Amino acid sequence: TACMSVILRTAAVSDRGKARENNEDAVHAGKTLVAVADGVGGGPSGEIASDIVIRTLAQLEGEPGPADPAAALREAVEAANRNIREAIEADPSLNGMGTTLTAMLVDGEVFDLVHVGDSRAYAWREGALIQLTRDDTYVQGLVDKGVISAAEARAHPQRSLVTQAVHGAGLRPMFGVVAIYPRDRFLLCSDGLSDYVDEVAITRV
């Protein structure tokens, strides 16, 4: 029997916030792919990195979709990393730029998930919020070791120090598969949301 493919109903919202003059977030919200990237590296370069990654992954959205979505997602992440490296080689002033990436691609009746950095994916299922990703941050490492609590991590001065980014060099993304159930809602967000709005409020909204 042919399995039904999931079709997404998506919406994207981005706000520069009060602290910066530019918006380093980039997003794609399509019928089969959702992705968020948050530039790192300061200045305009983080904005360039996030744009490169989202534009590269958006090519997965073509018709027909990839025959092997999981493999195509891996290849797209590698291509995005390569594209950043080539941009830096073409303009050395961009050296040091990078971006977080969290993306989910429909694969039949599941999502293929990729995650690098501290942008997050959540599932809202039967009234509960479930975090699907683990932050690649120095502070999350302290939480994992029991040095500080999750509550202390939220206020830690180094909470935005990512330990991994898509930056044109060595990359070890987290790949996974996410089950989909009726009435599920999913949220992909940068730390511009998760650093400032706690999970109780996110769940309520």
Share of the chain above pLDDT 70, in %: 92
Q: What is the pLDDT of residue 146?
A: 87
Q: Is 148 left (phi over 0), alpha (psi -120 to 50) or beta?
A: beta
Which tokens go with 179? 């089950």
pTM score of the predicted model? 0.89
CB 90 within 8 A of CB 44: no
Q: What is the pLDDT of residue 1?
A: 40
Confidence of residue 48 (pLDDT cuts 50, 70, 90): very high
Q: Indicate whether 17 pLDDT > 80.
A: no
DSSP 129-166: EEE-----BHHHHHHHTTSS-HHHHHH-TTTT-BS--B
Element at 67 (helix H, strand E): none
Task: Provide the β-strand partners of residue 101.
Answer: 116
CB 113 within 8 A of CB 187: no
Q: How far is 169 from 13, CA to CA, in rounded Å?
A: 30
